[in-house]
Amino acid sequence: MATDQLHQFYQQASTWAEQAQKSGWLSETDVEKIKSVEARTPTELFENGTQRPLVVAFFGGTGVGKSSLLNRLAGQAVARTGVERPTSREVTIYVHKSVQIQNLPEEFPVDKVKIALHQEEKNHDILWIDMPDIDSVDTSNKELVLEWLPHIDVLIYVVSPERYRDDRGWRLLLEHGHRHAWLFVINQWDKGQESQREDFTRLLNEAGFKHPIVLCTDSREKDHAPDDFEKLAQTIRSLANAHTIEQLETRGISLRMQELRKTLQQIVKRIGTDESFSTLQQRWQEIWETASAELEQGLAWKIESMAESFATRDAGLLQRFKKNEPEQPTRKPTVDTEEMWDSWAQTRLNDALDNLIVEADAQAIPTAPLRAELPEIRNNAKGWLENHLQTSLRAALLKPGTALQRFIYRTTGVLATILPLAALSWVGYRVFVGYYHSAVAPEQYLGINFTTHSLLLVLTAWLIPWFAHRKLKPSLQKAALRGLQTGLSNGLSEIDTQTRKIIEKLRQKQQQLCQQSEQILQKYSATEAAPQLLDNETLTRMLVTEPEQNRTNPETPGEETRQPNSSTG
């Protein structure tokens, strides 16, 4: 069950990371960090439902005698020992013939895996592995070791008195030490000194092993001096029981779950936070205020030039008579607003959007999703501006001037019709009355003075309101200028609004990814804590007690571990 949970956790975390990478929120390196968390366990080597053996491996550098120890344990030459040079290039498995490895990993080359079967009941529940030399010049050796590590319960770290400070072995120990139980063997002890054992123990203490088990063995093929070989064999056999194997398995799964959880939490931080997006919105406001002010100032002369094309509509009556140009009141003048947004304006917009990308990067927000969305702004800005210019221009020309100006203009138009008619009516009435009275009394006949005054009255009643109506007509040029300015302001606001929508869209996507990751983490939080293995003192001594403190930087071990091939004796 625990193994299934680990695999499900690993699969869901990997799927989440891959989907986030496809949309640009994570890099390929981030996905690899998830996939680099080891989800394999020793149980996977064997058939489900069967009681598996304890998987124990000899690990160490070149020439320390790993193969010799396995041969001594088996009582026969099951592992290849060096002839021309002391090195191992293959994995040797020493296992009871009743144990079958069902699921050998596909990555393992068959020609580099040797399986030796035995019938010794005392080693029935143990699968011994002789690992290749970790410090070999052949890089495939290290790859084999790393491929097998997840399938191992107990690692026997074999060193020699001359090479217990080996740098490569220490780096691997510091990086993977917390995942396994460890026994430490100083082989070739016939050449060693007690001070070397003490120094080696001190280094192990610094690596996180509070009370490490350090055993010393004789490397000679015959006439072995008294050593700890039998204690080594007995220690391993004491762990080869179902209870201990289950504890090791459970602990390994819990540690992998913790590592996967920690890795996922670290990667989630790379997609930004609510605070970072809020800051990005504020920074965009500052960027756009500067850019829009520059655009309004730079495009002002174009607006004025376009508005001047409406000046001919405001030409006086006498000017039209001089030019012999008839008035066409029903014709609506137009202006080409496509010329407004030129390459200079586009460059200013691109600069503002590029600054937004820089700010996103400064706020630790992935820039790839933002870069993917911003072409919409770059490509549509001209169209948005043109649409707002045309809309505002038409609205301004439809109702030029202020409401008061339009009221006075309409009033003078009405007066230009009513007053002449009123004057004509009055003159007509006076003519009719004068004609009636002149028939009775000739002295009432209307003379030239009446005619002159009547003509002046009618002319005055028509000309004054007509000229007032013409002169009080709202300026189309000013209306066009006001409409174009409003359109420019609205167009720039549309660019700002659409950009803010993109930032908000990315914020929502970031929140969605965070929620998905949090759901995954909460689903598997129950198996976060590793069990305490306090019921087996020997096993407790074989485990790292302070893994976090001693694994801060496994690639750069302490000064003591930077001195390969040195000794203190």
Domain span holding position 9: 2-270+530-559
Q: List the end-to-end C-alpha distance of the chain, in Å, as a whole number.
A: 50
Rounded mean pLDDT, 214-243: 85
4-13, 137-146, 358-367, 371-380: least confident range: 137-146
149-153, 470-474, 547-551: least confident range: 547-551
Q: What pLDDT is stored for residue 88 in this prediction?
A: 55
List, in order, residues 6 or more apart from 184 with CB less than 8 Å away: 156, 157, 159, 200, 204, 212, 213, 214, 215
Q: Are residues 27 and 133 in the same domain?
A: yes
Give the span between the Cα atoms of 43 and 48, in whole angstroms. Answer: 8
- 418, part of any domain: no
Give the span between the Cα atoms of 213 and 184, in whole angstroms. Answer: 6
**Residue 52: strand, helix, or coil:** coil
- 435, part of any domain: no
Question: How long a stretch of residues is the chain?
Answer: 569
Q: How many CB atoms lie within 10 A of CB 71?
A: 20
Burial 101-113 (b: 16+ CB within 10 A, else e): beeeeeeeeeeeb
Q: What pLDDT is stored for residue 136 in this prediction?
A: 65
Q: Which residue, among 271, 478, 279, 292, has the nearest Cα to 366 in the 3D structure?
A: 271
- 443, part of any domain: no
Whether the CA torsion 269, 270, 276, 278 is positive or negative: it is negative
For the ranges 63-77, 332-346, 394-408, 536-550, the one whose mean pLDDT is highest: 63-77
Q: Are residues 97 and 180 in the same domain?
A: yes
Rounded mean pLDDT, 533-546: 75
Q: What pLDDT is stored for residue 427 in this prediction?
A: 75
List, in order, residues 6 or more apart from 528 with CB less than 8 Å away: 254, 257, 258, 261
- 122, part of any domain: yes
Q: Are residues 212 and 279 in the same domain?
A: no
pLDDT at 123 over 90: no
List, in order, residues 6 or more apart from 237 with CB less than 8 Å away: 122, 123, 126
For the ranges 340-344, 498-502, 555-559, the one whose mean pLDDT is highest: 498-502
pLDDT at 334 over 60: no
User: Which tokens is 431 given?
Assistant: 């003519």
Confidence of residue 567 (pLDDT cuts 50, 70, 90): very low
45-54, 65-74, 436-445, 468-477: least confident range: 436-445
Q: Are residues 219 and 352 in the same domain?
A: no
Q: Are residues 69 and 205 in the same domain?
A: yes
Confidence of residue 470 (pLDDT cuts 50, 70, 90): low
Q: Are residues 49 and 134 in the same domain?
A: yes
Query: Are the beta carbons of 161 and 192 closer than 8 angstroms?
Result: yes
User: Which tokens is 4 given?
Assistant: 């299934």
Strands of 436-535, DSSP E: none
- Give me the CATH number covering residue 216: 3.40.50.300
- 312, part of any domain: yes
pLDDT at 326 over 80: no
Q: Which residue, among 122, 178, 140, 141, has the nearest Cα to 59 in the 3D structure?
A: 141
Residues facing 7 on adjacent strands: none
Q: Are residues 264 and 289 in the same domain?
A: no
**Residue 164: strand, helix, or coil:** coil
Q: For the chain, what is the mean pLDDT?
A: 80
- 282, part of any domain: yes
Q: What pLDDT is stored for residue 562 in this prediction?
A: 36
Q: Are residues 122 and 29 in the same domain?
A: yes
Q: Are residues 294 and 234 in the same domain?
A: no
Give the span between the Cα atoms of 529 and 518, in whole angstroms. Answer: 18
Pick 110 or 282 by higher pLDDT.
Answer: 282
Give the span between the Cα atoms of 338 and 264, in whole angstroms. Answer: 50
Q: Are residues 202 and 348 in the same domain?
A: no
pLDDT at 320 over 50: no
Query: Are the beta carbons of 366 and 29 closer than 8 angstroms?
Result: no
User: Considering the entire predicted model, what is its pTM?
Assistant: 0.71
Q: Which residue, among 117, 91, 98, has the nearest Cα to 51 in the 3D structure?
A: 98
Q: What pLDDT is stored for residue 328 in this prediction?
A: 46
Angle, helix 242-268 to helix 229-239, in steps of 10 degrees: 80
Q: How many CB atoms lie within 10 A of CB 141?
A: 22
Query: Are the beta carbons of 495 and 350 closer than 8 angstroms?
Result: no
Q: How many CB atoms lie within 10 A of CB 57?
A: 24
pLDDT at 94 over 50: yes
Q: Are residues 152 and 74 in the same domain?
A: yes
Query: Are the beta carbons of 483 and 392 closer than 8 angstroms?
Result: yes
User: Which tokens is 428 given?
Assistant: 């007509």
Condensed to tens digits (0 to 9), the pLDDT of residues 261-300 reads 999 999 999 999 999 999 999 999 999 999 999 999 999 9
Q: What pLDDT is stored for residue 416 in this prediction?
A: 78
Q: SS3 sequence, 3-48?
A: HHHHHHHHHHHHHHHHHHHHCCCCCHHHHHHHHHCCCCCHHHHCCC
Please give the tally of structural domains in the chain.
2
Q: How many CB atoms lie within 10 A of CB 93?
A: 24
pLDDT at 345 over 80: yes
Q: Are residues 61 and 201 in the same domain?
A: yes
Rounded mean pLDDT, 386-404: 81
- 505, part of any domain: yes
Q: What pLDDT is stored for residue 329 in this prediction?
A: 45
pLDDT at 533 over 60: no
For the ranges 188-197, 419-428, 446-455, 544-553, the one whose mean pLDDT is highest: 188-197
